[in-house]
C-alpha cells in the first residue's frame, strides 16, 4: 500500500489508482440499486458489500439548529416523507421523516446524522478493501 502522508488524501488515492492502472468506481449518493434510499446507511452498507472499494459520494445539509444530515437535495420532498427545506427544519423534524428509495420503497430509516453516517462507514470498513487506501475511515466520534 502506498504512503500518502505527503499529499491530500483524495488526490493521493486517485494518483495511486492511476499509477496502478486501476479503475475507481463511484456510487453516486452512496447508492448502488434503485431499491436503496440514497445517502442512507443501508445504501452505504449494500454498496460496500456489492462493490468493495467503491468511492461513496455523499451529501450533507445543515438543519436549522446546525446539525448535519445526509441529504442530496435542499428539501426533504423528493427523498423522504417530509416536506420543506432542510435548513428550515430542526434535527428532530428531519429525523421524523422516513427515507424513500427511487423505486418508491418507503424505509423505516430517517436521514442519517453526521455521527450516524460516520459510524455506518467505519462499521463496514469499506476503506480497507482497496490497495489504494488514502486515509483511515472516520470514527463514530468524528
| CB neighbour class for 19 (10 Å; exposed up to 12, middle 13-18, buried from 19) | exposed
Q: Is 83 a catalytic site residue? A: no
Among 2, 64, 72, 85, which one carries the catalytic annotation? 72
Among 1, 19, 25, 28, which one carries the catalytic annotation? 28
Centre a 10 Å sphere on the Cβ of residue 3 and count the other Cβ atoms it contains.
8
Q: Is 28 a catalytic site residue? A: yes
Active-site residue list: 28, 72
Amino acid at each position: 500500500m502506498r504512503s500518502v502522508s505527503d499529499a491530500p488524501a483524495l488526490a493521493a488515492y486517485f494518483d495511486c489508482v492511476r499509477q496502478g492502472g486501476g479503475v475507481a468506481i463511484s456510487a453516486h449518493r452512496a447508492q448502488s440499486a434503485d431499491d436503496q434510499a440514497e445517502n442512507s446507511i443501508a445504501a452505504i452498507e449494500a454498496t460496500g458489500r456489492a462493490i468493495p472499494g467503491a468511492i461513496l459520494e455523499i451529501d450533507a445539509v445543515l438543519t436549522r439548529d446546525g446539525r448535519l444530515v445526509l441529504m442530496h437535495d435542499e428539501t426533504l420532498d423528493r427523498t423522504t416523507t417530509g416536506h420543506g427545506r432542510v435548513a428550515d427544519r430542526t434535527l428532530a423534524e428531519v429525523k421524523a421523516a422516513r427515507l424513500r428509495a427511487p423505486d418508491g420503497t418507503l424505509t423505516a430509516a430517517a436521514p442519517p446524522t453526521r455521527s450516524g453516517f460516520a459510524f455506518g462507514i467505519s462499521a463496514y470498513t469499506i476503506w480497507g478493501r482497496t490497495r489504494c487506501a488514502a486515509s483511515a475511515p472516520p470514527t463514530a466520534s468524528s
